[in-house]
Amino acid sequence: MFAKRTNWPTTANALAQHWRTVCESGDLTFDLTPSNPTAVGFAPSPGLLALETSCTYKPEPLGLPLARRALVDHFGLDIPPEHCCLTASTSEAYGFLLSLLCDPGSSVLTPTPGYPLLHHLCELHDVARVDYPLAYDGSWYLDLGGLRDAIARAHNPSMLVVISPSNPTGHCLTPAELAAIEEICISNEIALVIDQVFAGYDLPTPHPPPARPLDSPRGCLTFGLGGLSKYAALPQLKLSWMLAAGPRDLVDTAMARLEIIADTYLNLAGPVQHALPSLLSQAAPTRTAIRRRIGANQTFVKTICIDKQSPVTPLHTTHGWTQLLQLPRLGLDDQQWAHELLAQGVRTQPGYLFDLPPGLGPTLAVSLLTTPDVFRPGITRLLETVAQACREATVRS
C-alpha cells in the first residue's frame, strides 16, 4: 500500500522515551536542546504580528513583488527582485530545488556534519545523498580532497549544498573555500546551494552588519537560502527566501521553471508577505538579543570547563546557535553519554544525529539559545556527571 521511501521508523527512539520518563519523574530537569526561539524568551511583541489580513488574495507563485523588492532592498543586493523566490520554509525551498535540478537517481552532495532534514528531503525526491566532510583540527574547515572524492563517487551529481554558517559546527566558509567550491561546480556543471539561514549570528562581533545573502560565487548557478525563522526569529510566520545568481541564461531558465513548481503548490500566505518590509526592518534588536544570549552562554560553558579543569572540551565555534561538547571516552559513545546525562535530568543531543566524525570521540550538542536559568545549572550538572564518571573509572582501573 505505501511507498517504500516512507518506510521510516515511527516510534519514539530510546532517547526520546528516556526523556519522557525523566520528565514524568518530577525531578528537576534541564533541557539543553531548545531550538525554537519563541519558546525561550524571544517571542515577538503582539504589535509586530498585527498582520494585514483583509488584503485581497493575489496568487503570485514566486511571491508578491513588494515582498521580493523589500528583500533585495533590505540586503542591498545587486540582483533583481525577479530572481527571488519566496517559500513557506527553507525545507520547501530545498524541495523546489530538488525538483528543479535532480532527476530520480541523481546525486546531491551534502556536508557532514550537516542538517539531518536533508536526508529526508533527498529520500522524498528519490535522490541519492553523497556526503562530503567538514573536518576539525581546533577549528572546522572544508576537507576539499574529501569533497573531490565525493564528487568522483557520485552518480550524476546535480546539486552541491553548503551550509554557511553551518549547524551544528558553526563553520563559515572562507572566501578561499567558496572559490574552490565555485570552481568545482563550474567544472562539473553542478548547481550550488548555499544555506545561509544562520547568517547574522556571528558570536565574536557584537554588531556585525546584516548578513548579505549571496556575497558568494556567481560563476555557477547559485541559490542562496534564508528565512524569517532564524533571521528574524519568527518561525511561526512561515516565510523563507531563495535568491538566484550566476550565468544569466541559467538563472532565467531556473526562475521560469521555479515559477511553475511554486504555482503547483501556491503555499505562500499573503499577510506575511505584505508585512515583510517591516518584519525585516524590525528584526535587528531580536538578533542582537539572541547574539547576546548565545555569547553569554558560550562564555559560561568555556569558563566553567576551564575553572573546573573539566575533561569536557567545548569545540571552537564562531557562528550559530549550537555548542558542541567533546566528552572523555570512558568506554561510552555519544548516545550512551546522552543516556547517562538524561538519567541525571540533563537533555543533550548526541553528535551522531548530525553525523559528527567518529574521530572526534563522544560529542554532544547543546543549544546556546537555552535560557540562562536552565543552561547554567544544566551545564554544571553535566560537568558533575562527567567528573563523577571519571572518578568511578579511576577507582575501577
Binding site for ligand PLP (CB under 6 A): 35, 89-91, 115, 163, 167, 195, 197, 227, 229, 235, 240
Question: Which of 324, 383 has the CB closer to ligand PLP?
Answer: 324
CB of 120 to ligand PLP, least distance (A): 12
Question: Which of 164, 363 has the CB closer to ligand PLP?
Answer: 164
* Residues linked to residue 97 through DSSP beta bridges, in sequence order: none
Question: Which of 49, 393 has the CB closer to ligand PLP?
Answer: 49
Question: Which of 215, 384 has the CB closer to ligand PLP?
Answer: 215
Task: Kindly give, in sequence order, each residue whose CB lies less than 8 Å from that of residue 172, ignoring residues fewer than 6 positions away.
Answer: 164, 165, 166, 202, 318, 319
Query: How crowded is the C-beta side of 7, counted as CA atoms within 13 Å?
Result: 5
Q: CA 277 to CA 68: how far, in whole Å?
A: 9
Rg from Cα positions in the chain:
22
The secondary structure of 268-280 as a DSSP string is: --HHHHHHHHHHH
CB of 87 to ligand PLP, least distance (A): 8
CB of 345 to ligand PLP, least distance (A): 25
**In contact, 328 and 80? CB cutoff 8 Å:** no
Question: Which of 88, 387 has the CB closer to ligand PLP?
Answer: 88
CB of 92 to ligand PLP, least distance (A): 7
Task: Kindly give, in sequence order, each residue whose CB lies less than 8 Å from that of residue 60, ignoring residues fewer than 6 positions away.
Answer: 268
Task: Kindly give, in sequence order, each residue whose CB lies less than 8 Å from that of residue 349, ignoring residues fewer than 6 positions away.
Answer: 33, 338, 364, 365, 366
CB of 241 to ligand PLP, least distance (A): 10
Question: Which of 170, 328 has the CB closer to ligand PLP?
Answer: 170
CB of 383 to ligand PLP, least distance (A): 26
Question: Which of 229, 317 has the CB closer to ligand PLP?
Answer: 229
* Residues linked to residue 136 through DSSP beta bridges, in sequence order: 140
CB of 303 to ligand PLP, least distance (A): 27
Q: CA 114 to CA 326: how far, in whole Å?
A: 17
Which stretches does DSSP call E strand in the chain?
A: 30-31, 84-87, 107-112, 128-136, 140-142, 157-163, 191-195, 222-227, 240-245, 313-314, 322-326, 346-347, 349-350, 363-367
- Which amino acid is residue 245, in one-letter code? A
CB of 108 to ligand PLP, least distance (A): 14
Question: Which of 114, 328 has the CB closer to ligand PLP?
Answer: 114
> CA nearest 150: which of 182, 112, 193, 191?
112
